C-alpha cells in the first residue's frame, strides 16, 4: 500500500517537475506591496494600524511576518504537485514553539493556526524556508550559510515524511515531540543546555505567575493592569463584562462536557484588549481574567478569527465560522491542543477563537541563536512540519513526489533565495511609502480609548 501511494506521488513529477518548484518571478499583474498591505488592513482597528506598520518596518523579516496575504497570492502563481493537506497557512519560523499538553508535558509543535486551511503542502514549506533565509540575512550570515540551512530544513522534512508515512497511522497521531527527549538527544552540549534552561523556565510559568505579572489589586479587587500600547482597558468595564459574559456562555457550548464543567468553576472578572504579534496587530484580540472561589486565576486569550489568507486561492472552508475553522484545523495538525480551545461569535457577528494565555508556553528567541542553533532549529521545524502534514494521510504521495535525492531541496533553496530578494524589494517600497506619508507608522496608538469605540461596528462582508 505504501509503495502504491509512493508511486502515485512519483508520477506527478512528470506533470509538475520538481525543478519548477524553485521558480519565482512576479507576474505582470502583481499588485504593489503597498496595495496589498492596505488591503490586508481591511477591517482592522484603525487606531492600531499604524502600530502594525511600525512593527513591520523593523526589518525585512518583520515585514515578511506581516505579509502572509501577499505571499499567498504569490504562491498561487507557482508550481505545486496538487497534493492537498491541512496546512498551517502562515508557516514561518516564529510560528513554532513549546507548550504544555493536557498531561503537562512540554512539547514542540506548530503553534499558530489563524490561516489554516486544506491547501498545497509546498506553500507551508516554501514560507518556512524563506523565513530562515531572511533570518540568516538579518543576522548577517553569508548567503551560502542561508542556502545550507534551507537545504537542511527541506531534507529533514523529506526524511521525516518518509519515516512517518511508513508508521502505523495511530502511532503517528499519538506521537509528540517531547522537549525533554529532544534535550537528551541533542547533538551538542550548547543545544542541550539551551533546551534544559528553557524547560526550567517554562515549567515555572503558570496562571499564578502570569496573574502577578498582569494584574493589580485595586481597592481589594483584582484587575488586568493597563500597559499601553500592549494592553488597553475598556472605558466602560461594566458594559464590556456584560457583553463578554454572553460571549463566554456561547463559547462554553463548543467545549467537551468535562472541560465545560471545569470552566464553570471560574467566574469572569476582567477583560482587556491585547495587541499581539505583527500580522495580528489591529485585529480584535482580548485577554480575559477568570477566578474561581479559591481566587485561583485562569487567563483566556480571545482572538479574532478572520478569513484565511489562503481562501481566495483554494476551496472555501467547510466551516462557516472562522473560529471553528481555526480550532478544527489546529486539532488536525497539532500533536496536542489546549483543553480550553473553542470558538464563539461576538455581539456583531465577528468570529473569535479562545485558548489559554501563556500557560507553559515558550517561543524561539532568534536574536540569541548562532548558526549552529539555527541549523538545529531548522531541522526540528522540518521534522515537525512533516508530521503535521503526514497526519492528513498524504505522506507516501508527498514522499514519492519529493524523492530521496537533493533535487527538491535545491529547488526550495532556489525559491527561498529569490523570494527573499523579492521581500527585501517589497520592504524597501514599504519603508519609502512610510517616509512619503502614504502609510503611517507609530509605536503607540494615538488615542487608546478610541480603540474600543470601533469594536461594536457592523461586520463588513469578506473580501
> Residues 230-269: pLDDT tens digits?
888 887 888 888 888 889 899 999 999 999 999 999 999 9
With bands split at pLDDT 50, 70 and 90, how would you rate the model's confidence at 460?
very low
Q: Please compute the mean of the pLDDT values over residues 176-187 and round it to a whole number.
A: 87
Q: Please compute the mean of the pLDDT values over residues 160-182 and round it to a whole number.
A: 94
pLDDT of residue 451: 57
Higher pLDDT pick, 448 / 25 = 25
Task: Work out the angle at residue 101's Cα, subtended by the Cα atoms of residues 202 and 158, and round it to the nearest 5 degrees.
Answer: 95
pLDDT of residue 370: 83
pLDDT of residue 103: 82
Q: Please compute the mean of the pLDDT values over residues 74-94 and round it to a whole number.
A: 96
With bands split at pLDDT 50, 70 and 90, how would you rate the model's confidence at 456?
very low
pTM of the model: 0.93
Higher pLDDT pick, 303 / 276 = 303
d(CA 330, CA 312): 20
DSSP 437: T
CA distances from 42 to 74, 204, 307, 352, 365 (A): 19, 39, 11, 17, 30
Higher pLDDT pick, 187 / 379 = 379
C-beta separation of 398 from 389 below 8 A? yes
Q: Please compute the mean of the pLDDT values over residues 206-210 and round it to a whole number.
A: 75
**Cell 477591517 sits on residue:** 43
Mean pLDDT estimate for the chain: 90
pLDDT of residue 238: 83
Answer whether residue 197 shows pLDDT above 90.
Answer: no
Higher pLDDT pick, 458 / 207 = 207
d(CA 315, CA 317): 6
CA distances from 219 to 119, 222, 227, 298 (A): 52, 8, 19, 21
CA distances from 377 to 94, 139, 362 (A): 11, 15, 14
Amino acid at each position: 500500500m505504501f509503495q502504491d501511494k509512493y508511486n502515485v506521488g512519483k508520477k506527478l513529477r512528470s506533470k509538475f517537475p520538481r525543478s519548477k518548484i524553485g521558480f519565482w518571478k512576479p507576474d505582470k499583474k502583481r499588485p504593489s506591496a503597498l496595495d496589498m498591505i492596505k488591503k490586508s488592513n481591511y477591517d482592522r482597528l484603525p487606531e492600531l494600524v499604524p502600530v502594525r506598520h511600525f512593527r513591520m518596518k523593523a526589518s525585512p523579516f518583520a515585514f515578511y511576518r506581516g505579509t502572509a496575504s501577499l505571499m499567498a497570492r504569490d504562491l498561487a502563481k507557482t508550481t505545486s504537485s496538487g497534493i492537498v493537506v491541512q496546512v498551517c497557512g502562515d508557516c514561518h519560523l516564529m510560528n513554532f514553539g513549546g507548550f504544555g499538553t493536557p498531561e503537562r508535558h512540554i512539547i514542540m509543535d506548530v503553534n499558530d493556526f489563524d490561516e489554516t486551511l486544506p491547501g498545497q503542502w509546498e506553500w507551508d514549506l516554501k514560507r518556512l524556508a524563506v523565513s530562515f533565509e531572511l533570518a540568516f540575512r538579518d543576522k548577517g550570515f553569508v548567503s551560502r550559510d542561508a542556502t545550507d540551512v534551507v537545504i537542511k530544513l527541506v531534507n529533514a522534512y523529506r526524511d521525516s515524511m518518509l519515516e512517518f508515512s511508513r508508521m502505523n497511522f495511530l502511532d503517528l497521531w499519538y506521537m509528540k515531540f517531547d522537549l525533554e527527549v529532544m534535550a537528551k538527544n541533542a547533538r551538542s552540549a550548547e543545544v542541550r543546555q539551551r533546551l534544559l534552561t528553557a524547560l526550567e523556565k517554562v515549567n515555572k510559568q503558570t496562571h499564578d505567575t502570569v496573574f502577578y505579572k498582569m494584574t493589580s489589586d485595586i481597592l481589594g479587587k483584582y484587575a488586568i493592569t493597563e500597559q499601553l500600547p500592549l494592553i488597553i482597558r475598556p472605558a466602560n468595564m461594566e458594559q464590556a463584562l456584560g457583553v463578554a459574559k454572553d460571549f463566554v456562555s456561547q463559547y462554553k457550548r463548543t467545549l467537551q462536557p468535562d472541560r465545560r464543567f471545569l470552566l464553570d468553576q471560574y467566574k469572569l472578572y476582567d477583560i482587556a484588549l491585547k495587541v499581539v504579534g505583527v500580522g495580528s496587530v489591529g485585529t480584535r484580540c482580548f485577554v480575559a481574567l477568570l477566578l474561581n472561589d479559591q481566587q485561583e486565576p485562569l487567563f483566556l486569550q480571545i482572538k479574532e478569527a478572520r478569513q484565511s489568507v489562503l481562501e481566495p486561492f483554494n476551496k472555501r472552508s467547510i466551516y462557516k465560522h472562522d473560529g471553528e475553522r481555526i480550532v478544527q484545523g489546529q486539532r488536525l495538525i497539532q500533536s496536542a491542543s489546549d483543553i480550553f480551545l473553542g470558538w464563539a461569535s461576538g455581539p456583531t457577528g465577528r468570529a473569535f477563537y479562545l485558548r489559554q494565555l501563556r500557560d507553559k508556553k515558550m517561543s524561539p528567541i532568534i536574536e540569541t541563536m548562532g548558526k549552529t542553533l539555527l541549523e538545529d532549529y531548522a531541522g526540528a521545524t522540518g521534522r515537525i512540519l512533516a508530521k503535521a502534514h503526514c497526519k492528513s494521510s498524504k505522506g507516501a504521495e508527498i514522499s514519492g513526489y519529493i524523492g530521496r535525492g537533493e533535487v527538491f531541496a535545491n529547488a526550495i533553496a532556489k525559491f527561498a533565495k529569490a523570494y527573499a530578494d523579492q521581500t527585501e524589494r517589497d520592504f524597501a517600497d514599504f519603508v519609502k511609502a512610510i517616509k512619503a506619508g502614504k502609510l503611517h507608522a507609530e509605536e503607540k496608538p494615538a488615542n487608546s480609548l478610541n480603540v474600543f469605540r470601533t469594536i461594536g461596528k457592523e461586520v463588513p462582508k469578506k473580501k
